[in-house]
Structures are given as structure tokens and as C-alpha cells.
A = this chain, B = another copy of it.
Amino acid sequence: MLAPDRYFTPIPTVRATAQALYDEFGSLPLVCPHGHVDPKLLALDEPFSNPAALIVIPDHYIVRMLYSQGVPMESLGIPRLDGGAVETDPRAIWQRFADHFYLFRGTPSGAWLAHEFEGVFGIDEPLTSATAMRIYDRIEASLRRPEFRPRALFERFKIEVLCTTDAATDTLEFHRQIRESGWSGVVRPTFRPDLAINIRHPQFAAELGRLSAATGEDITSYAAYIRALESRRAFFKSMGATATDHAAETPFTAELSAADVNALFGRALAGKATEADARAFTGHMLMEMARMSTEDGLVMQLHPGSDRTHNAAIFEKFGPDRGCDIPIQTEYTRNLKPLLNKYGNDTRLTLVLFTLDETTYSRELAPLAGHYPCLRLGPPWWFHDSLEGMTRFRYQVTETAGIYNTAGFNDDTRAFPSIPARHDVSRRVDANFLADLVARHIVSLDDARQMMRALTYELAKKTYKLD
């Protein structure tokens, strides 16, 4: 059912060029520098349980769409924090999913799932209410076979390297198990210290406790806190990490004086930090993280601009990452100025910027990345990791920043079996974009071939120092 020329422009000459570029470069190994696959999966290499648990329940793209049309979270088996009853029959969940599968027409989830069903599981009919149980049976049967275990899929997917995302205090135990197992797959951790930096988070004190335990630092001062974070970065690096990652509501950066940051950190330790303190501390710590990156060489990633608990009722009942995250307007030019003025001309720093606010592509991000040597633009993120979203990114960014100030593709996914589909969509978008440039005589075919190789493979490796 998957058309070989899917997603390409329906102008025959352009389509043929896109197909040729895709055919030449579309099957290069997958470089996955940023994502949320659980390393436990690859450490234990146990079979996946069932289609609903694998495909429906953990996928917030799927859950949010069904919920938006009135399907209760409980009926999809989303666990309640209070332990209340939810649907436990995976077949009932799958049927409900299939009944509403039409909602995904024209969405990236629709495209990824089509690829996953046919490309990974060999399903040869569309998912509908009528075919739901037959398809469930086929996927379930596959999952019992050894070639559908995580490591086998990793190899079949031709993943060259997979980076996970891990809290600053994570023991990286599963990463250690993978490395010591003798398996050849390359899985790297990424240092994500959000919880250790968010001084108003209910778990901040507990996270500092773990940070102390992991580093032996007695974190009673800002200086000790900084030493502990530097120590963890060194540990992550020793375990293969090449990057850090940071979420923040805004990309605000500003350095505090030593006196101010000491006083502020004191309030944080005492549990007396205000909202203003938290904002100031995040802005300060982004500067600190950039400083550390100039020293230890870890690539810094910044993912700002999401209100992650927009729907309080759902957040309280089901917890985070259930689709209640809503983007907010984001400003980079002024917010990043302090950081860029201090570290932006330092070629030891690589800072990869992401956004959920597409208006910043041509107005702020491309001009910034087209000037500061430290900057690279991450691929379209989250809601924009889609055919149209990635296409808009290329057309709005390339003229000012070129392609060489962009960072290649991230799949950014929790959904392990969707990885090939996501890279495939990205590669098709890039092939199509380049074919259009060729057709309009903006670049030559030979230039386009070099650009295609860069976009699909080289830029991700180079930006994230994965060579």
C-alpha cells in the first residue's frame, strides 16, 4: 500500500528527481542524536507485550487526537495516578483506536503508522473498525518472534547510533548493561538536568539529594552544586554522551552576580524560592551550561516554548506527557543575547536551538544561525515534525542560514518502532525540497546530491560530534 513515490510533489519532473535523490541516499544508516527511547528496552531486549501497549498507550500524539474527539483517556488504558480503574483489555483499546483511525487522515501520525504497519509488521490492509482484530492478531504474532525484539529491530532499522535522554542523576545503569553486553549497537546517553535546575519543582530537593549521593558533593552551596553538575557531565561523557539537553518555558538567559546567585540558591535550598527566582535561576544556569560546554565540549540543546501542564485536570489525573502541552509564543533575539554575547563567538560551543513557534524561523532563528558560529538549528520539533512542517522549515530557513547551519534530523521519539518511519518522512521531504531547487535551477543536481547526503546523514553526525 505504501507508494514508492509518496510525499513527493506531483510534478512529474520534480518527482523523478526527488525519487532519484531518495533512492540514492534514503537508505543511509539512521543517525539518532536526540530521542526518548528507554535504554532499558535495549538493555533487557525483552519482547514487546502487545499492540496496544506498544503503539497506542504511550503515544501522546495518538492519545491527544482521540481525546480531542471525546474519547476518554481511561478507555484507552492510560493509567490513572490514583490507581483508579481504566480499560485493561488491549483488544478493546485497539478496537477503539481503529474505530477512530480516520481522525489521523492527513497527519504525521497517519503517515508514520502506515509505514510502521506495512514496513515493520507487513500489514497489507488499512486499519478500520472491520480490520482491527485481524491486524491486532498479526502484530501480536510478530511480537512473539525473535526478530521483533528491540535489538533485532535496532539492527534491522540500520540505526548507527541512538542517543537517549537521561536525568542528571540517572545512574545510566542500562547504558552500562548495553555496553557490557557485548552487543554492537551504539546507544549513548544525553545529559538533561532540568529537574536539578528547576528550583520550584516539588522534587527539586529530592533531586539534589540524588545529585549529592551520585557525586559525593555536600550540596549546601551554589559552588558545590556547580561542582556536582560538572561531575555528572564528566560521568555522562565517560559513558558516551556527546550532548546535553535543556527545556525551559522561554529561552531567557542572563547571568547573575556571584552574590545574587548564592543568595538565590540559598533560598532554593530553604524551599523559599519564588517564581521570579526560578526564572532568574534558569536564565543563569543556561549561561552556566553554555560555559561548561565550552569546557567539556558537550553539544548543548535547547527546547523552549511549551506550556507543559496546560490542562490541569488531565495533569493531576494522569501525569505529564499526555498531550496537554501547548506551545507559547517564543522570543530568541533578545532572550539569547546575553548568552550569545558571552559565548556565541566561541567555536568550542555548539548550541542547537529548537522551537515550537514557526514564526521565529525566518525572523530570528535563521538570522541568528546565519551569523553566530556556535549556533545550529535543530529540525522541526514535535507538532512540526511533519511533511508540511519540515517543508516550511526548509523554505523559511535555508535562504538566510543555508543548510549547513542546520543540524540534520532528530526523530525525538519514545515510539521505538516508529523510528524508521520518521527518518523516512524526513528524507522524503528533503529529497523533495532539493528536487524543487534543482527544477528551478537554484542548485545543480550535483550540488543537490551533496546537500542530500548532508541533510540525511552528515550534518547530524557532525553537529552532535558522533563521528
A interface with B by C-beta (< 8 Å):
2-3, 5-11, 13-14, 64-65, 67-70, 102-108, 110-111, 126, 307, 310-314, 323-329, 331, 333-334, 337, 340-341, 344-345, 347, 356-359, 362-364, 366-373, 375, 383-384, 386-389, 395-396, 398-405, 436-437, 439-444, 447, 450-451
Contact B65 A402 (CB under 8 A): yes
Chain B contacts of A359 at CB under 8 A?
357-359, 363
- From B8, B103, B345, B402, give the contact of A311 (CB < 8 A): B345
Minimum Cβ distance to chain B for residue A246 (Å) = 21
* Cβ-defined partner of A333 (8 Å) among B3, B126, B327: B327
**In the complex, what distance in Å separates the CA atom of A363 from the CA atom of B382?**
11
Residues of B near A7 (CB, < 8 A) are 440-442
**Residue of A3, A345, A384 with highest tally of chain B CB at under 10 A:** A345
List of B residues within 8 angstroms of A366 by Cβ: 383
Can you list 22 A-B pairs, Cβ within 8 angstroms, ordered by A?
A: A6-B442, A10-B11, A64-B370, A68-B370, A68-B371, A70-B347, A103-B404, A105-B443, A105-B447, A106-B398, A106-B399, A110-B443, A310-B337, A310-B340, A311-B371, A324-B371, A326-B333, A328-B331, A357-B359, A358-B363, A362-B384, A388-B398
Given A10-B14, A311-B371, list of 6 further CB < 8 A pairs? A6-B442, A64-B370, A65-B402, A311-B340, A311-B344, A328-B334
A388: chain B residues at CB < 8 Å are 395-396, 398-399
Distance of A87 from chain B, by nearest CB (Å): 18
Minimal beta-carbon separation of A442 from chain B (angstroms): 6
What's the least CB distance linking A331 to chain B, in Å? 6
Q: Is the CB of B333 within 8 A of A402?
A: no
Please tell me if the beta carbons of B6 and A441 are within 8 angstroms of each other in the complex: yes
How distant is the Cα of A229 from the Cα of B310 in the complex, in angstroms? Answer: 30
Interface centre among A110, A368, A370, A404 (most CB of B within 10 A): A370
A314 — which chain B residues lie within 8 A by C-beta? Answer: 345
The reply to whether B5 and A68 form a contact with Cβ atoms under 8 Å apart is no
Contact A69 B10 (CB under 8 A): no
Whether A107 pairs with B362 at a CB distance below 8 angstroms is no
A364 vs B328: C-alpha distance in the bound complex, in angstroms? 7
The answer to whether B307 and A333 have CB atoms under 8 Å apart is yes
List, in ascending order, chain B residues with CB within 8 A of A14's CB.
10
Q: State the oligomeric state as a number of copies.
A: 3
Judge whether A450 and B102 touch: CB under 8 Å.
yes
CA distance A193 to B337 in the complex (A): 28
Contact between chains at B334 and A372 (CB < 8 Å): no
Interchain CA distance A11-B384 in the complex, whole Å: 26
Closest to A315 in B: B341
A404 to B384, CA, bound (A): 19
Q: Are A326 and B440 within 8 A (Cβ)?
A: no
In angstroms, how far is the closest chain B Cβ from the Cβ of A462? Answer: 11
* Complex-state Cα separation, A313 to B373, whole angstroms: 13
Give every chain B residue within 8 A of A307 (Cβ-Cβ). Answer: 333-334, 337
Given the known interface contacts A363-B357, A383-B366, the answer about A399 and B326 at a Cβ–Cβ threshold of 8 Å is: no
Contact of A439 among B10, B313, B347 (CB under 8 A): B10
**Known: A345-B313, A447-B102. Is A383-B400 also a contact (CB below 8 A)?**
yes
Q: How far is the CA of A5 from the CA of B358 in the complex (A)?
A: 31
Chain B residues within an 8 Å CB radius of A6: 440-442
- Closest B-chain residue to A428, C-beta based? B440
A403 to B110, CA, bound (A): 13
Nearest chain B CB to A188 CB, angstrom units: 25
Give the complex CA separation of A73 and B331 in angstroms: 28
With A13-B10, A441-B5 as contacts: A367 and B106 at CB distance below 8 Å:
no
CA distance A102 to B325 in the complex (A): 39
Q: From the candidates B10, B356, B439, name the one contacting A363 in the complex (CB within 8 A).
A: B356
Q: What is the CB-to-nearest-CB distance from A352 to chain B, in angstroms, rounded to a whole number? A: 14
Query: In the complex where A64-B371, A68-B371, A102-B447 touch, is A398 in contact with B440 (Cβ < 8 A)?
Result: no
| A324: chain B residues within 8 A (beta carbon) | 371
- CB of A370 within 8 A of CB of B65, answer yes
Min CB distance A452 to B, Å, is 11
Which residues of chain B are within 8 angstroms of A364 by Cβ–Cβ distance?
Answer: 326-328
**In this complex, what residue of B is CB-closest to A331?**
B329
